[in-house]
Chains A and B, each alone.
Chain A
């Protein structure tokens, strides 16, 4: 059966391998450049004692390159569309399932071989792309400490493996239930994007309870270090109520709180130097707060998110197996 799976899909495998090699070459060349750029900048700033400001002065790579690497976020989805959805659906569509199922092997063995190799290939391919991206991003991770942020979190580490396995399982299940490739593609795309967004935006920040620190202005407090993930920040008024902190606000703000929300007496001091605004707020009993996921939880979050997608994939494969074993060819 392995022979048949390979014979059927070897062209896809060759194409995928070629694309991976091309990507690897690009990543290796630019990655080495960026690493040496970062290290020479680090050496230079150590001499001039200006390393604290390095993240603001040094830009690694080019925007185009960063965009290309960020675009690897769609790789799992593409695997689901091109490997997952047609895997069983094409066989139903062309009737070859009737041919394969009349050989002297059980449907279970047929499905196991096909699904097993597809998932393995997805994990390997997703893992390889992610490994390259993770390595490529390591200078930027050290410099900007943004690898816990949504966007970077999704293309590094082990989560891309979970996404890839899930996407392919989703494609297989959709193709098996719908028996047609095109509708299966549409369902795979829709469900995958929906779940990724819902889990990434609404669920991920709650995997572990965020650490919240409330601090008084003008006093020393434990500021999070490293690549922590900022969940929320803002101001707490003297009555203990938090000031309105809009999700996205691009104007002038203090701790994310728009200037307009600040008491009028302090507002006038907003653009004056020497932190006059902060002292004004502090003297009126305002506190700052920050809610975040510490950098130390990065791998725990990677593990939890990967686990969620792998479990979803397992459920989809179980459904696929039931449908294939029970339904007519």
Chain B
């Protein structure tokens, strides 16, 4: 426990984490590390296991296999840890007949480091009525209430499941700015899930990519982008490239081939034109989608739920 409290240790570390339901594998062989102070984007298509991972980290679900350490403790076992984690579930559960003010007072009674004043102030600045039953607020307003309440706990780790899905673009930007501020102030790590990287691209500096219940990618975004490259060249044998690097994804047309690779060294094949990879290309490449970058961009603009 004391070892984990030193700054060098990650906020989240899992090894071989798995969650099976009776007939379904929700998450398997999940090994990730999120260093302290990061805002991590947990990206994956619907049903990839994002919610399961967040619930395991929050201690709301118990793993079938593997290990999980959050802020150096085991979630679900440790009451002290519970006070350090802020969590907002995807369906934004709040007590519908209670007002935001009621929720703030409840937070004061049930949490040791409660900061009700800042929750009130943030909600007031968003013109959200504090005295009205939250069930009568709009979906976006309810999301704001839940998100601000999770910050009111003054957590060291925030776990937010699809936090921006219910927000309009302006509210989305405001919320992400609030979050970035809170993380910048220090002592806070956040994991935000979404099925669209475009939602979180500007705010996050860390990426966990899930697909088909498995971790495809996990790391700092800058590092990941530097490690990957897009190669475009004439359609020819790519075995040499596949031997020297890790081929993530390939799109082959009649005349040319586009490769997403994880580099193990410099690319020296003159037949290929190397280009930096965008975060979106990277994500889509690992999700195994065939859409070329131009179309991938269009895909990401689509409605979220």
A105 part of interface (Cβ distance < 8 Å): yes
Name B95's contact: one of A1, A8, A106, A329 (CB within 8 Å).
A8
CA distance A102 to B70 in the complex (A): 14
Supposing A96-B93, A98-B87, A329-B61 touch, asked if A103 and B98 sit within 8 A by C-beta, the answer is no
A207 part of interface (Cβ distance < 8 Å): no
0/1 interface trace, chain B 72-114, chain A, CB 8 Å (1 if under): 0000000100110111010101111110001001110111100
Supposing A1-B110, A7-B98, A96-B94 touch, asked if A102 and B61 sit within 8 A by C-beta, the answer is no
CA distance A104 to B58 in the complex (A): 12
A271 part of interface (Cβ distance < 8 Å): no
0/1 interface trace, chain A 9-40, chain B, CB 8 Å (1 if under): 00100000000000000000000000000000
Supposing A95-B89, A99-B93, A102-B82 touch, asked if A329 and B55 sit within 8 A by C-beta, the answer is yes
> Do residues A104 and B82 form an inter-chain contact, with CB atoms below 8 A?
yes
A299 part of interface (Cβ distance < 8 Å): no
Residue of A nearest to B108 (CB): A3
CA distance A90 to B86 in the complex (A): 22
A101 part of interface (Cβ distance < 8 Å): yes
Supposing A1-B110, A3-B106 touch, asked if A102 and B58 sit within 8 A by C-beta, the answer is yes
Residue of B nearest to A327 (CB): B62
B60 part of interface (Cβ distance < 8 Å): yes
A62 part of interface (Cβ distance < 8 Å): no
> Do residues B112 and A104 form an inter-chain contact, with CB atoms below 8 A?
yes
What band does the interface of chain B fall in when counting residues whose beta carbon is under 8 Å from A? 20 to 34
> Do residues A328 and B94 form an inter-chain contact, with CB atoms below 8 A?
no
Contacts of B228 in A (CB 8 A): none
Contacts of B95 in A (CB 8 A): 7-8, 96, 99
> Do residues A7 and B110 form an inter-chain contact, with CB atoms below 8 A?
no
Q: How far is the CB of B49 from chain A (nearest CB, A)?
A: 14
A94 part of interface (Cβ distance < 8 Å): yes
CA distance A129 to B82 in the complex (A): 42
> Do residues A95 and B91 form an inter-chain contact, with CB atoms below 8 A?
yes
> Do residues B60 and A328 form an inter-chain contact, with CB atoms below 8 A?
yes
Contacts of B146 in A (CB 8 A): 99
A198 part of interface (Cβ distance < 8 Å): no
Most B CB contacts (10 A, CB to CB) among A8, A11, A102 go to A102
Supposing A7-B106, A329-B55 touch, asked if A103 and B111 sit within 8 A by C-beta, the answer is yes
CA distance A99 to B95 in the complex (A): 9
Residue of B nearest to A94 (CB): B93
Most B CB contacts (10 A, CB to CB) among A1, A7, A105 go to A7
Supposing A98-B87, A102-B87 touch, asked if A329 and B107 sit within 8 A by C-beta, the answer is no
Contacts of A1 in B (CB 8 A): 109-110
A4 part of interface (Cβ distance < 8 Å): yes
Contacts of A106 in B (CB 8 A): 79, 82
Residue of B nearest to A110 (CB): B110
CA distance A1 to B109 in the complex (A): 7
Residue of B nearest to A108 (CB): B79
Name B109's contact: one of A3, A11, A95, A102 (CB within 8 Å).
A3
Contacts of A101 in B (CB 8 A): 60
B153 part of interface (Cβ distance < 8 Å): yes
Supposing A98-B60, A329-B61 touch, asked if A103 and B107 sit within 8 A by C-beta, the answer is yes
CA distance A117 to B184 in the complex (A): 43
Q: How far is the CB of B303 from chain A (nearest CB, A)?
A: 23
Name A99's contact: one of B62, B79, B94 (CB within 8 Å).
B94
Residue of A nearest to B87 (CB): A102
CA distance A258 to B231 in the complex (A): 103
Q: How far is the CB of B113 from chain A (nearest CB, A)?
A: 8
Q: How far is the CB of B285 from chain A (nearest CB, A)?
A: 33
Q: How far is the CB of B150 from chain A (nearest CB, A)?
A: 8
CA distance A96 to B112 in the complex (A): 20
CA distance A135 to B238 in the complex (A): 94
Contacts of B89 in A (CB 8 A): 95, 98-99
CA distance A1 to B106 in the complex (A): 8
Contact residues of A between 74 and 95, Cβ < 8 Å to B: 94-95
Residue of A nearest to B110 (CB): A103
Contacts of B91 in A (CB 8 A): 95
CA distance A11 to B111 in the complex (A): 25
CA distance A259 to B85 in the complex (A): 80
Q: How far is the CB of A112 from chain B (nearest CB, A)?
A: 14
CA distance A4 to B61 in the complex (A): 24
Q: How far is the CB of B85 from chain A (nearest CB, A)?
A: 7
> Do residues B55 and A328 form an inter-chain contact, with CB atoms below 8 A?
yes
> Do residues B110 and A4 form an inter-chain contact, with CB atoms below 8 A?
yes
Name A329's contact: one of B60, B82, B106, B112 (CB within 8 Å).
B60
CA distance A8 to B109 in the complex (A): 14
26 A-B residue pairs with CB within 8 Å = A4-B109, A7-B95, A7-B102, A7-B106, A8-B97, A8-B98, A94-B93, A96-B94, A96-B95, A97-B93, A99-B94, A99-B95, A101-B60, A102-B85, A102-B86, A102-B87, A104-B82, A104-B111, A104-B112, A105-B82, A106-B79, A328-B60, A328-B61, A328-B62, A329-B55, A329-B61
Interface residues of A (CB under 8 A from B): 1, 3-4, 7-8, 11, 94-99, 101-106, 328-329
Interface residues of B (CB under 8 A from A): 55, 58, 60-62, 79, 82-83, 85-87, 89, 91, 93-98, 102, 105-107, 109-112, 146, 153
The 4 nearest A-B residue pairs measured at CB: A95-B93, A104-B83, A103-B110, A329-B60
